[in-house]
Homo-oligomer: A and B are copies of this chain.
C-alpha cells in the first residue's frame, strides 16, 4: 500500500494548474502568517535595510499520504513519551551517569551539565519543570505487513513549527475544498475524495502547556507583588518568528497572559533576580517601559538549544541566571540533556537493562511494548560489542546510519561510508557517535515543493511526522498536566539528508491519512 499509493500521486499539473496553485499558496501564506523572514544572504545587499520583508514558508503544494495506523499510534503514545522524558529528567543519577561519560567528547553537554551542578550547589528554588516536546517519526516500510512507526528523534527543547504546521493544514484543507461546492483547486484524485488532513491543535496544545505552567507558578514572589508574564527567549534575528508568534498570540488573546519576547543576548540586561529575595523571582524590565517590571513565571526557550548560540561566557552566565531563578523553565538544563541522542540510544539499545519499565512503573507492559516498538535499534560504540561489529562490517553497515551525539557535531554518515569514517577518527571519539538502524520510508514518495524564494521543485521525498506533547511535573515526579495534540509533517527532497525547514531545503507539509 505504501508503495502503491504513490503510483499516481500527486496528480500531474499543467502549467496553468501549477501557476494557479503557486499563486494561491504564495498569497494565502502572506495573508495568514504562514511566513518567514528571508535570509539576508538570499537578498542583494541593502535590499532590506530595515528587515521588513517576509515570504511564504517553504511548503509542499500537496498534502502527503501517511498511514493512518502510524499516525494514530504516534498520537496514542505521546503522553507516555512525555511521561518517560519527565521521569528521565527527574532521575539525576541515571541521567548524570550517561552525561558524565560524554563530557570529554561533547563540550556543549559538558557545559550544560556544569550549569546544572552549579545551580544544584546553590539549590534550585523551582521544583516544577515544563516540557514542550516533539517526537519525530517515519513510517517504516516493511516488506511483509503494514508500515510501522519508527522514532527518528525526540526533542525536548525549542520544538518548533507547531504554529506554522497548523497553518499548512488549513492551507491544504482550503485547497482541497475550494471553491465551496465545486472544489477544483487541485486536479481530481481518488485520495482527495472526502478526505481532509486530520485536525491540528499544535497551537492550542503548546500554548496550553505554557498557560498551565503560568498558572501553576502561583502568585508573585516579589514584594510588592509584580504582574506576571511568560518570557519567550529567542534568537536575535530569528527568521522563523511567525511560528513562535502563533503561540504568543494565543496566550495573549485566549489565556490573557502577558508574553514578552527577549533575544538571548538581552537576558542579562533586561532581567534580574533581586539578591535580597531568597525566592529568586526572575524580574523582567521591558526597555520600552522603564517604570514597569514583570515577574516571569515561565521561561520558554526558543534559543540556546545549539552549541553555536553560546558565543561567550556571557551566554552561559545568562543560561545559569535563568536556571537558578524561580521561573519555570521550558526546558530546564536537565530536561534539555534528557533529549541527547545518547539517551535515545541507551533507551533503544536492543540488549541490556529494561530502562523503560523502570522509568514507567505505572504504565502497563503492553503500552511500554508499543512504545518500544517505535525504536529503531541503536547501539553504543564506546566499547567492543554489537554496535562496533555492526558498524565495521561493510555488509551490516549498509543497514545503518551513524549520528553524531553532539548537536552541530557534523553530518550523519550513511551505510558504506561508516566503516571507513570510524577508522579515520580516533577510537576514543567513537563514543561521540550513535549507530542507528536505518528506517526505510516509502521509496517512491513524491511531492512538489514551493520554496520560500518561489522556486518549484518536484521529486522524490522523505517525510517525517512530528507529534507535539506538553507536560508539567515536579521534582518528585508528580505530573500536573500531561497533554498531546497537533503534529508536523516535514518533507525533504531525497537528496537532502539534513537541513532545517527555514533554510529552504525541506518543506512544511500536511497529511492525508490512508
| Interface, chain A (partner B; CB < 8 A) | 14, 16-17, 19-21, 26-27, 30-33, 35, 38, 43-44, 46-56, 178-182, 184-185, 187, 227, 229, 241-242, 245-246, 249, 252, 256-260, 286-290, 292, 294, 452-455
Contacts and interface: CB of A to CB of B under 8 A. Distances in A.
A252 B241 CA distance: 29
A52 B452 contact: yes
B52 A55 contact: yes
A256 B51 contact: no
A50 B180 contact: no
B19 A30 contact: no
A242 B180 CA distance: 20
Given A245-B31, A289-B184, A179 B53 contact: no
A454 B50 contact: yes
Nearest to A17: B288
Contact of A27 (B21, B179, B245, B256): B245
Given A52-B453, A258-B179, A453-B52, A184 B286 contact: yes
A246 B178 CA distance: 16
A43 B35 contact: no
A35 B30 contact: yes
A454 B17 contact: no
A13 B246 CA distance: 28
Contacts of A288: 14, 16-17, 19-21, 184-185
Nearest to A259: B179
Contacts of A54: 30, 35, 53-55
A178 B252 contact: yes
15 contacts: A16-B287, A21-B288, A26-B52, A27-B241, A30-B30, A30-B35, A31-B249, A48-B454, A52-B452, A53-B55, A178-B252, A179-B258, A180-B258, A181-B227, A187-B289
Contacts of A27: 241-242, 245
A455 B179 contact: no
Nearest to A49: B454
B50 A179 contact: no
- List the number of copies, as a whole number: 2
Contacts of A453: 50, 52
A241 B290 CA distance: 40
Contacts of A48: 454
A400 to B, nearest CB: 40
Contacts of A290: 14, 16
A60 to B, nearest CB: 16
A258 B181 contact: yes
Contact of A47 (B20, B43, B181, B252): B43
A487 to B, nearest CB: 21
Contacts of A16: 287-288, 290
A246 to B, nearest CB: 8
A385 to B, nearest CB: 51
A246 B28 CA distance: 10
A180 B257 contact: yes
A327 to B, nearest CB: 16
A345 B126 CA distance: 73
B52 A181 contact: no
A252 B180 contact: yes
A35 B52 CA distance: 10
A4 to B, nearest CB: 27
Contacts of A44: 44, 46-47
A418 to B, nearest CB: 40
Nearest to A249: B31
A99 to B, nearest CB: 37
A175 to B, nearest CB: 11
A198 to B, nearest CB: 20
A260 B23 CA distance: 12
Given A14-B288, A52-B453, A182-B294, 19 more contacts: A16-B287, A19-B288, A20-B286, A21-B288, A26-B51, A27-B242, A30-B33, A30-B54, A31-B33, A31-B245, A33-B33, A44-B46, A50-B455, A52-B55, A53-B55, A179-B259, A181-B258, A182-B227, A184-B286
Contact of A180 (B52, B246, B256): B256
A261 B47 CA distance: 30
A228 to B, nearest CB: 9
A188 B227 CA distance: 17
Contacts of A17: 288-289
Contacts of A259: 179
Choose among A53, A290, A453 the residue with the greatest number of B CB atoms under 10 Å from its CB. A53
Contacts of A20: 286-288
A183 to B, nearest CB: 10
Nearest to A45: B44
